[in-house]
Amino acid sequence: MGLDEGLLRLIAEHRDAWVTAVLRQVAGLSTRPVTYLSAVVLCVVFARLFRAWRPAVAAPVAAVAAFAVAGLVKDLIGRPRPPHDLAVLTAGGFAMPSSIAAMTSAAAVPVILFGLRTGSRAGRLLAAVLTAATLGLGVCMVYLGAHWLTDVLAGWVLGAAIGAGAFRLIAGRVSPPSRSAAPRPDGC
């Protein structure tokens, strides 16, 4: 706890009002139904663009599984959240592992793995964007004091393992579409 508390105290002493306001809005999005609906739409768009239905299915399956497992593990560990004097955003329940970190990394990993497997620039870009978004949301949770750093790290590890497992089980045999299989603009 020494590293966690020291880091959060350092963050709390240096929080900036506008950064805090923006990150509160970002954190608020994680609980809104429109966010989950948007994620489903993005999975469908991803599946159509990359012709990758199995990885697109693996992502939400992994997210739901990670959320459930994180909840069970939280109850087993029983670690309290950061104290109110260090938190800008308070959340109920136990802290470790972070459910949002587990859920987002679990959902991202199947798509990241597929994106990297394509070997294409678009696949690498997709992997980079999802990695940055997942890391960003975890950093947001620590910055706002909703979680300790190690809660988020544990959530990322748990979610990544579940996401990789879902990819392997659901989409592991899927290979990216070959470039020669893509229709040519001239219709040939």
pLDDT above 60 (res 179): no
pLDDT above 50 (res 184): no
pLDDT class for 97, splitting at 50, 70, 90? very high
Who has greater pLDDT, 24 or 101?
A: 101
Mean pLDDT of 143-163: 90
pLDDT class for 13, splitting at 50, 70, 90? confident
Mean pLDDT of 17-28: 76
Q: Residue-wise over 154-187: b if at least 16 C-beta within 10 A, else e? A: bbbebbbbbbbbbbeebbeebebeeeeeeeeeee
pLDDT class for 19, splitting at 50, 70, 90? confident
pLDDT above 90 (res 148): no
Q: What is the pLDDT of residue 180?
A: 45
Each residue's pLDDT tens digit, 25-54: 777 776 667 777 777 787 777 777 777 788
